[in-house]
Structure 1
Amino acid sequence: MSDPAAAPKPARSGRGVRIALALSLALNLLILGLVAGAVLAVGPRGGDDPRLRTLGLGPFALALSREDQEAVRGRIDRDALRTERRALGASLLQLRQALLAEPFDRAAAEAALARSRAAAEALQGQGHAALLDQIGTMDAAERAALADRLERALRRLAGRDR
């Protein structure tokens, strides 16, 4: 009979590998969400347009009327939007590669996150400019109605966090 003490112990995954796998899964789900959001025209709540959320409009995506949503989308430079979305996706893929590198390549991960942040800020800048341009076309009554819908949207979003 063989000596049980002499038998090699099975290799165990290190904590870093498990963390990297979890982050990889999270990134893959994030990319899937971005792609699904870009493909879908309207979110599950009817007025919540994922394309507007991608532009950093947050609760305004819920508060804008359908006509105003269309107008905001129409104000966006589609080529620039496509470029920034591609840059965001590419930076997330680069981050994934940095997470899988052994040893962990912090500098590559940091650079990928910086590129991701720059692309997200560019998208948000486009969205905010288009939103402000659209709000600039509204009269006082339309802005007040938007403010009321924004307040309701914020209450709805706050209720989800409970």
Structure 2
Amino acid sequence: PEAGRPALVPLPRFLAGPEAWRRRPGPLGLRVAPGEDVRPLASHLAGIALVAIAFPTFSDGRGYSAARLLRERLGFTGEIRAVGEVLLDQIELMRRCGFDSFSVGHEPTRRALAAGRSGAMRHHYQPVGTVPELPAGTRPWARLSPA
């Protein structure tokens, strides 16, 4: 990897020998494939700078759950990156689940982002614990993102 950038190691490879990876110099990042369980990382998160979660197709939503587990249950404070076929209208939902960076492979989405469009939405039907939100209206679960 480039100097100062995390080496990205597949999750199963890291879990097979985490201490060896911790001894290497430089920041450490992990690649999580769809369906891989991130809970075994609980005792290792302090030394990890980046978790890159793969989205091989826009219709595979398992990465959303992995990001929420990392942020809300495991307390991961490092970077969580969505990698792959991410669509414009998914980006705001991904942010709500804990993603804070994106490596977008979907060309129309890349063009829209380059043009300044974000796909942002303010009204949500379910609360999350990863971003600040306000109750909205009389429905107990309705939320409003700050402007």
Same fold (TM over 0.5): no
Instruction: State the TM-score, normalized to the length of structure 2.
Output: 0.22
Relative to total residues, which structure has the larger helix share, 1 or 2?
Answer: 1
Relative to total residues, which structure has the larger strand share, 1 or 2?
Answer: 2
Asked which structure has the greater RCO (Cα within 8 Å, sep 6+), the reply is 1
Instruction: State the TM-score, normalized to the length of structure 1.
Output: 0.21
Larger radius of gyration: 1
